[in-house]
Structure 1
């Protein structure tokens, strides 16, 4: 039997509150129903309230292959919830006088370059953390080079908006922020986070990357849906993304982190010790970049913004500090309502964000006193429309491709498009005819290889060999005055393709033969 840390009296299951969570059994029922509805093999949940951990428990299995149970110490990749640790690491260095939020990045990384020289000169540590660089959503995620090449090649990524004018989420600049931590502190980002944050908080099972875990016997597998069936996918094991999304932790360990956040950097008996000062804590929770609101959502939200490593908004009149994280086959959410001294942590081993939202929102409802709202049903129904729309798009594209394949005449000569194409950031891809099939092959990203099918005009559909990517793309060729392909652009086929597949940012130029 899994050990539950639920403390009934502390959780305050009073009769005036929402009936969904009046007992530990009700919490169990909520999570199990969520797993069933959204096809999630395993979930871990922790709740902290009024300075104590009132619930920390695992549900389901770590992997559909091993069927071993999830518990409160099971390790998950927390993905972009790592960003708050990177901000905190910089905050520690601000406290120590080793840098300032508004110091220029080039003061620490002289070789740092963006597309615009003026923006490069003005770019600050704060700008690295606030998603307002002018780069597009997920810019550069599709191809992650070794760190020196990322810093050297950022200048090739063209902005889509003016500097500091618009919110567009990115990962690359958090990688750069991790390098600032390293250069300002004299130790690696990984070592700094572990020695200055995790060890003082006694996050004994956690590490700054999967490669630094002391014990991997209690760790999840990542899962994705492929053709309607769950499938295990390999976990990301590179270290490049660590400062943006590399930490592995458990809900038990993350409870200590969340309590420290609620306590504004203080921890330990009597809160006598500090990771960082209240001054820098307040700066991390101060709105830096406004995020447009599409609607007020389920909690009558009036504002949304990004701070330093955290998302900020109001829910039912309370400040909400939150972040989500996602890697292939894993999604996580951390939510803090500081005025209620409430923190909610939900980790899942399947990439269905509706699952963590259903659990988090039901727990929030309990503390808000909201009754008779079924968040699992609500989110299940809400996701049906975009999923149905995406299915219609894919069906239409597949139908057109099938019709083109049946045609005997009028199809373009595939050899016309063969050759090498280069994007300044992504590098080189080759288009070739192999065994009568047109093939796309990325030289730097082995996963991005697939067969190309004629669609219309000068456009083909690239169907990736690795079906777990769920990111088939259009490849459209531009012809020169002589009718010869000279450029190629790409965009995702499905409207639900993850933004990290930033095909739309690529602009390939055909390499002339002999060069």
Structure 2
């Protein structure tokens, strides 16, 4: 009788505890949606081997107002990278390759910026952001469009990207090398990356509503639309559907299925009695490979920050955290694991404000770490407001000055008319039409906008697609060179790093064909 009494007390206290955290998640999520103008969010929390919270909030799209639920699919973007590392781990368990195999063993045509790096580059290097290339180098081949580029193009063109640091000395996040890792999976397995991930990971985990990319979703009736604010008003934008990005950011999934993925990760690669990948490879993926810049600040006082194999690693209040974020235009996501707490947190959103998922994740973390309540929503809102205000002051000043009306502007713009080529990005055209000067990419058709004169050797490009938030400076390398060469860089400090204009180096083609 005594044991039954104690057990009943345990059940009641557990129920109260669960209800308390569920109420807290509801509260912080609804507030995040309000502050950051997010139409829909899905949140799941797993603890001690069980899903203790799984819920959808808001709507899939402002167009049709259908509710988000636990089966609503979101593009998880760069959270796909952990699936790529897991796929490689499975192939290693099958004795088909090793982390430190040279890339050229599987892709003989692979070539980096110098011969030494080419010969030494390993599968591990593909996953750890230490290649020597800069942040997001070459992403314009896949972003914002990329339909005109193939993985074959990326393998060929990566040799033209210039390093910003020595090989294996510095962390700079990339996407292209994960695409190349996906090619290795395809060549070794004889299957597409998406097919392999679905067969070897999703099917055993019964992730029945997920797929390797948008096009492979069997049922598209319960999927979010991506949203971005344009001139202060939230709007639905076109979905990114290019499959070239799959191994870096292709997966569509939902909190119900991702809870199974997280539970398996917290169980060191096991799903019940089934082994998805070995404990040895699980430990390898969670081992620091590349150190990242770290700040030891409140509230978590982290002592280290590093990148593993498809995961970011740090410590929060003395506990290991394994996590990743993901972002596409109009969609951002976060998956966070605290293994010592046997805790996993999944937040999927259909708007591109990362502040919302950060506020939700950190609130849940604080609850389980026993830290004092902190209003992350308000803190991030204040920071976002300051950052946006500062960025707006920069871009507003540029557009007040940019012109195509003065005599000097017209002369300078006329001198730029022609066709130019960058070694890895391909050709662009500058021409005059209906009284304005236009910059147009041949291989990334969405990159088309109005060119205006700014000052001396500098011009501006305002993209016709206004949700990019990626307007750019175009500047002549040598003003005395008769405009034969130019480079570019983003105007706003808030421009996504995948608009890697700084890596472009355009040279005028001898024959102009407009």
2:22 equivalent in structure 1: 24
2:125 equivalent in structure 1: 127
Cα distance in 2 for residues equivalent to 1:372 and 1:398: 43
Superposed, which structure 2 residues align to 1:439-458 within 5 Å? Answer: 439-458=438-457
Q: Deviations over 1:197-254 (max 9, x none)?
A: 0000000100001111010100000000100000101111111000000000000100
2:414 equivalent in structure 1: 415
How has the CA–CA distance of structure 1 residues 410 and 320 changed in structure 2, closer, same or farther, with 3 Å as cutoff?
A: closer
1:59 equivalent in structure 2: 57
2:465 equivalent in structure 1: 466
**Is 1:370 aligned to 2:367, yes or no?**
no
**How far apart are residue 369 of structure 1 and its match?**
1.4
SS at match of 1:13: helix
How has the CA–CA distance of structure 1 residues 510 and 407 changed in structure 2, closer, same or farther, with 3 Å as cutoff?
A: closer
Between 207-216 and 483-492, report the one with greater CA deviation: 483-492
**How far apart are residue 292 of structure 1 and its match?**
1.1
1:103 equivalent in structure 2: 101
Cα distance in 1 for residues equivalent to 2:258 and 2:204: 13
How has the CA–CA distance of structure 1 residues 372 and 24 changed in structure 2, closer, same or farther, with 3 Å as cutoff?
A: closer
2:497 equivalent in structure 1: 499
Q: Deviations over 1:36-77 (max 9, x none)?
A: 010000000000000000000000000000100000110000
1:226 corresponds, among 227, 230, 246, to 230
**How far apart are residue 91 of structure 1 and its match?**
0.2
Q: Deviations over 1:8-31 (max 9, x none)?
A: 9657728xxxxxx82533321221
Contact 2:409 2:452 in 1 (8 A): no
1:88 equivalent in structure 2: 86
Cα distance in 1 for residues equivalent to 2:141 and 2:12: 48
SS at match of 1:192: helix
1:308 equivalent in structure 2: 309
**Is 1:46 aligned to 2:44, yes or no?**
yes
Q: Deviations over 1:265-295 (max 9, x none)?
A: 0112xxx211000000000000000001145
Q: Deviations over 1:65-119 (max 9, x none)?
A: 0100000110000000000000000000111110010000111111111111110
**How far apart are residue 184 of structure 1 and its match?**
1.3
1:395 equivalent in structure 2: 396
Cα distance in 2 for residues equivalent to 1:10 and 1:157: 55
Cα distance in 2 for residues equivalent to 1:294 and 1:134: 23
How has the CA–CA distance of structure 1 residues 459 and 118 changed in structure 2, closer, same or farther, with 3 Å as cutoff?
A: same
Cα distance in 1 for residues equivalent to 2:278 and 2:306: 22
How has the CA–CA distance of structure 1 residues 419 and 409 changed in structure 2, closer, same or farther, with 3 Å as cutoff?
A: closer
Contact 2:136 2:497 in 1 (8 A): yes
Q: Deviations over 1:104-163 (max 9, x none)?
A: 011111111111111010000000000000111001111232111111111111111110
5+ residue gaps, structure 1, are 1-6, 15-20
5+ residue gaps, structure 2, are 1-10, 143-148
SS at match of 1:224: strand
1:278 equivalent in structure 2: 279
Between 51-60 and 184-193, report the one with greater CA deviation: 184-193
**How far apart are residue 435 of structure 1 and its match?**
2.0
Between 276-285 and 295-304, report the one with greater CA deviation: 295-304
Superposed, which structure 2 residues align to 1:278-357 within 5 Å? Answer: 278-357=279-358
Cα distance in 2 for residues equivalent to 1:130 and 1:23: 35
Cα distance in 2 for residues equivalent to 1:180 and 1:319: 31
**How far apart are residue 372 of structure 1 and its match?**
3.3
SS at match of 1:196: helix
**Is 1:207 aligned to 2:211, yes or no?**
yes
Cα distance in 2 for residues equivalent to 1:223 and 1:371: 33
SS at match of 1:421: strand
Cα distance in 2 for residues equivalent to 1:212 and 1:439: 37
Cα distance in 1 for residues equivalent to 2:276 and 2:315: 26
1:184 corresponds, among 185, 188, 192, to 188
SS at match of 1:178: helix
1:162 equivalent in structure 2: 166
Between 146-155 and 221-230, report the one with greater CA deviation: 146-155
How has the CA–CA distance of structure 1 residues 420 and 410 changed in structure 2, closer, same or farther, with 3 Å as cutoff?
A: closer
1:258 equivalent in structure 2: 262
SS at match of 1:152: helix
Cα distance in 1 for residues equivalent to 2:512 and 2:407: 34
Contact 2:413 2:452 in 1 (8 A): no
CA RMSD of aligned residues (A): 1.7
**How far apart are residue 412 of structure 1 and its match?**
3.3
2:200 equivalent in structure 1: 196
**How far apart are residue 468 of structure 1 and its match?**
1.2
How has the CA–CA distance of structure 1 residues 471 and 10 changed in structure 2, closer, same or farther, with 3 Å as cutoff?
A: farther
SS at match of 2:244: coil
Contact 1:41 1:350 in 2 (8 A): yes
Cα distance in 1 for residues equivalent to 2:422 and 2:369: 51
Cα distance in 1 for residues equivalent to 2:25 and 2:110: 49
TM-score norm. by structure 2 comes to: 0.94
2:476 equivalent in structure 1: 477
TM-score norm. by structure 1 comes to: 0.94
